[in-house]
Structure 1
Amino acid sequence: MSARQAIQLNNVTKKFKKTTVIDEMNLQINEGEFLVLLGPSGCGKSTMLRLIAGLEKANSGEILINGQDIKQDSYFANNFAMVFQDYALYPNMTVYQNLEYALKVHKVPKRERQTRLNKVLNMLNLTAYQDRLPGQLSGGQKQRVALGRGMVKKSNIFLLDEPLSNIDVQLREKARDEIKSMHDTSHQTIVYVTHDQLEAMSLGDRIAIMNNGVIQMIDTPNNIYNNPINLFVAEFVGVPQINTLTGEIIDGQVYFAGYSLIADYSRLNKLGLISGNIYIGIRPENIHVSEQPQNAASIPVIVDKIVDYGRYQELMLIIANGQLIKATTTNNQFVIEDNVYATLVDKKILLFNQQTKQNIEYSLEN
């Protein structure tokens, strides 16, 4: 039995004058799902959220909430809570009153209101500020109030637009954990906009990667990271960024810098590649650096730079052809100008068509 769809977009297009911001978008969000919209600035994430909320009108297509078109449904807004990027707090109301307002409108009993509000005030470290007006708060405090206002409402659908972007790192992690815990308990349908990959990976049941108003890929965090549909997704997700190398197919073998990288002939035979150029993608943690070659595909390199991030070290390596590649390790033993070997884990190598930028193996695995 398939999951019930809480939100559905069918061929939705949104334009601002002559600029297409959302381009024939098709999207289904299941009831109780936590979906994260991730993408660079200006890709259409926030506009898409506002379309779902009914704050913007699409130029074409339809948006269904629980199977009903939002153009025809006058009561659907009562089932929404939204956290805006610009806070949208009532300036003449205290923190407590801002949080309480929606509950009063929906006639939530006083005792229940107090219980919800005290829990959220404590959760977001706002108890000491509950009698202050928004003008007396910092940007991060205002954002926490906006987040809390959405949390106390306990709506069926919760829309969040960059809710943690101005919050201090320590509180951001706590707030992120509380949002995740809230979803695990309430099973609300949540649509969450962010440009922060860590937030996206830690919160989302699925992640939709957007670019230029188009969803490039929608899948679980694991599949997004390990089996990206195209080069844009591969390069956008992951820190440090994936290494993108120009390789060559010779007689069905994948070569880079004169070395054959993939020993699994059955994998290569499935692709049916004979000759031509290709993009090779390999994440830095999947490059092993050693004093001696580990196999026939180990590439001689020179350590050019070392950056210590504490929990791991990033090595910048120079190949004989002058190209740079990044590798990461948790127990670096090398120094700058060391002559070492880089071995790419062949099972983790991604292959992309040089013209279309598509992952050549994606359609074979899905």
Structure 2
Amino acid sequence: MSNKVVLELKDVTKDYKKTNIIRKMNLQVEDGEFLVMLGPSGCGKSTTLRMIAGLEVPSTGKILIDGKDSQKISSLERNIAMVFQDYALYPNMTVYQNLEYSLKVHKVKKEERQKRLEEILETLNLSDYRDRLPGQLSGGQKQRVALGRGMVKHSKIFLLDEPLSNIDVQLREKARDEIQALHEKNQQTIIYVTHDQLEAMALGDRIAIINDGIIQMIDTPDNIYNHPTNLFVAQFIGTPRINTLDVIYDQGELFFDDEVVLSNSKRLAEMNLTSKRLCLGIRPEHVIVKKEKTNLLYLSAQIEMIVDYGRYQQLTLSLKNNQAIKAITTTNNNFSSGESVYFSFMEEKILLFDYETKDNLEN
């Protein structure tokens, strides 16, 4: 990946009537980067993508492409391909013609056009539908055509808005792999919008987590998952969802429901904590569950539910104060629903958040 910034958003806002959708967004995307915008429905990610594409104008701020104001350059200079959520296919053109159209506009030679089109048709399982009109296709087939039309263009910037949402699971994985392979081969700058965290983690060099029109965190998948900047990011990423517990910090120890969950911790000492009340976050795979209490830091619980996924079991543990946490364990443990057990946390995996601001205390 180059260090050249190909796309930049500077203090970009977007208002619809009196509703503020995007709030002073600042973002830099490097040449050849695969950036995923991830967030809940209505957070502003698709609106941001449409502004980058030039389909909508920012209320304030600037969008720069190769250092030039995107509002002052032509669509050909932008060199952007976009896959829309609603397909946007030409209804009077066949699948093949829809795929070919942008290549003709950009005067790609006939031999090269045919080569690219055959590859895309095969990749997306569309060869048998090449002569059909969009009205003769299912929703998933239309979405594959829209995806193929963006992929075949080989543009400098490729924007994708929920491109796999209507494709069935098996083809979705194949299409996702092909998007990744296309990126590695052509080194396009790709900005990909999704609400699917698995897609985001699998594809992105970096992920921008957006909520209420604000980028909450932008970083690598590893840092997003293991070092979330705040509680929203921690809770939005991860399946099953991260466990959260209200804890009390006092004289170097963390207490949950008057029992010690962390003591003599170097991490706690280095954090110079002053807050008494904190929020502890622990992912289900970092909860240790045992049938017997092996040290004082193991707390008692009862297994409320077991879901067996084959590779692992997901346990729902009922705690004394009517709270519940989830734990993921291996399948060779012989736990039973209703059984009394003991649990503890992997100390190095505990996340601590300020109770009021919800910010990660170690960021």
TM-score class normalised by the smaller sequence: over 0.9
Give the match for residue 359 of structure 2: 358
Give the match for residue 179 of structure 1: 179
Matched, 1:205 2:205: yes
Residues 252 and 275 in structure 1, CA contact (< 8 A), matched pair in contact too? no
Closer/same/farther in 2, CA of residues 359 and 275 from structure 1, 3 Å limit = closer
Give the match for residue 349 of structure 2: 348
> Given residue 57 of structure 2, which amino acid in structure 1 is its aligned partner?
K
3-state DSSP class of the match of 1:82? strand
Residues 84 and 163 in structure 1, CA contact (< 8 A), matched pair in contact too? yes
Give the match for residue 151 of structure 2: 151
Give the match for residue 336 of structure 1: 337
Please give the alpha-carbon distance, in whole angstroms, between the structure 2 residues aligned to 1:264 and 1:131: 70
Alpha-carbon distance, 1:266 to partner: 2.6
Closer/same/farther in 2, CA of residues 53 and 75 from structure 1, 3 Å limit = closer
Residues 36 and 206 in structure 2, CA contact (< 8 A), matched pair in contact too? yes
Give the match for residue 216 of structure 2: 216
Aligned residue pairs total 362
Alpha-carbon distance, 1:253 to partner: 1.6
Alpha-carbon distance, 1:321 to partner: 2.1
Please give the alpha-carbon distance, in whole angstroms, between the structure 1 residues aligned to 2:163 and 2:237: 20
Residues 252 and 274 in structure 1, CA contact (< 8 A), matched pair in contact too? no
Query: What do the CA deviations read for 1:193-221 (whole angstroms, capped 9, x no partner)?
Result: 00001100000000000000000000000
> Given residue 342 of structure 2, which amino acid in structure 1 is its aligned partner?
Y
Please give the alpha-carbon distance, in whole angstroms, between the structure 2 residues aligned to 1:342 and 1:49: 44
Give the match for residue 266 of structure 1: 266
Give the match for residue 16 of structure 2: 16
Residues 79 and 155 in structure 2, CA contact (< 8 A), matched pair in contact too? yes
3-state DSSP class of the match of 1:71? helix
3-state DSSP class of the match of 1:261? strand
Closer/same/farther in 2, CA of residues 37 and 231 from structure 1, 3 Å limit = same
Q: Which runs of 5+ in 2 are unaligned?
A: none
Residues 102 and 153 in structure 1, CA contact (< 8 A), matched pair in contact too? yes
Give the match for residue 91 of structure 1: 91
Please give the alpha-carbon distance, in whole angstroms, between the structure 2 residues aligned to 1:10 and 1:274: 36
TM-score, normalised to structure 2, is 0.97
Alpha-carbon distance, 1:78 to partner: 5.2
Alpha-carbon distance, 1:343 to partner: 1.3
Please give the alpha-carbon distance, in whole angstroms, between the structure 2 residues aligned to 1:159 and 1:199: 15
Residues 5 and 30 in structure 1, CA contact (< 8 A), matched pair in contact too? yes
Please give the alpha-carbon distance, in whole angstroms, between the structure 2 residues aligned to 1:350 and 1:22: 29
Closer/same/farther in 2, CA of residues 223 and 294 from structure 1, 3 Å limit = farther
Residues 70 and 76 in structure 1, CA contact (< 8 A), matched pair in contact too? no
3-state DSSP class of the match of 1:107? coil
Q: Which runs of 5+ in 1 are unaligned?
A: none
Residues 65 and 76 in structure 1, CA contact (< 8 A), matched pair in contact too? no
Residues 253 and 264 in structure 2, CA contact (< 8 A), matched pair in contact too? no
Give the match for residue 44 of structure 1: 44
TM-score, normalised to structure 1, is 0.96
Residues 103 and 153 in structure 1, CA contact (< 8 A), matched pair in contact too? yes
Matched, 1:127 2:127: yes
Give the match for residue 230 of structure 2: 230
Alpha-carbon distance, 1:166 to partner: 0.2
Alpha-carbon distance, 1:256 to partner: 1.4
Alpha-carbon distance, 1:79 to partner: 1.0
Alpha-carbon distance, 1:274 to partner: 4.0
Residues 53 and 77 in structure 1, CA contact (< 8 A), matched pair in contact too? no
Residues 207 and 220 in structure 1, CA contact (< 8 A), matched pair in contact too? yes
Please give the alpha-carbon distance, in whole angstroms, between the structure 2 residues aligned to 1:86 and 1:44: 17
> Given residue 353 of structure 1, which amino acid in structure 2 is its aligned partner?
D
> Given residue 324 of structure 1, which amino acid in structure 2 is its aligned partner?
A
Please give the alpha-carbon distance, in whole angstroms, between the structure 1 residues aligned to 2:77 and 2:128: 32
Give the match for residue 194 of structure 2: 194
Give the match for residue 293 of structure 2: 293
**Between 254-263 and 103-112, the greater mean CA deviation after superposition:** 254-263
Residues 12 and 23 in structure 1, CA contact (< 8 A), matched pair in contact too? yes
> Given residue 255 of structure 2, which amino acid in structure 1 is its aligned partner?
Y
> Given residue 231 of structure 1, which amino acid in structure 2 is its aligned partner?
L
Please give the alpha-carbon distance, in whole angstroms, between the structure 2 residues aligned to 1:76 and 1:68: 13
Closer/same/farther in 2, CA of residues 338 and 2 from structure 1, 3 Å limit = same
Residues 252 and 272 in structure 1, CA contact (< 8 A), matched pair in contact too? no
Please give the alpha-carbon distance, in whole angstroms, between the structure 2 residues aligned to 1:275 and 1:152: 55
Residues 162 and 194 in structure 2, CA contact (< 8 A), matched pair in contact too? yes
Please give the alpha-carbon distance, in whole angstroms, between the structure 2 residues aligned to 1:53 and 1:102: 16
Alpha-carbon distance, 1:72 to partner: 1.2
Residues 161 and 193 in structure 2, CA contact (< 8 A), matched pair in contact too? yes
Please give the alpha-carbon distance, in whole angstroms, between the structure 2 residues aligned to 1:160 and 1:61: 23
> Given residue 208 of structure 2, which amino acid in structure 1 is its aligned partner?
A
Please give the alpha-carbon distance, in whole angstroms, between the structure 2 residues aligned to 1:335 and 1:227: 33
Please give the alpha-carbon distance, in whole angstroms, between the structure 1 residues aligned to 2:252 and 2:31: 46
Give the match for residue 323 of structure 2: 323
Percent identical pairs in the alignment equals 60
Alpha-carbon distance, 1:268 to partner: 1.2
Closer/same/farther in 2, CA of residues 264 and 176 from structure 1, 3 Å limit = farther
3-state DSSP class of the match of 2:276? strand
Please give the alpha-carbon distance, in whole angstroms, between the structure 2 residues aligned to 1:274 and 1:55: 49
Give the match for residue 250 of structure 1: 250
Closer/same/farther in 2, CA of residues 238 and 117 from structure 1, 3 Å limit = same
Give the match for residue 80 of structure 1: 80
Deviating 4+ runs (over 6 angstroms): none
Please give the alpha-carbon distance, in whole angstroms, between the structure 1 residues aligned to 2:123 and 2:295: 53
Alpha-carbon distance, 1:333 to partner: 1.4
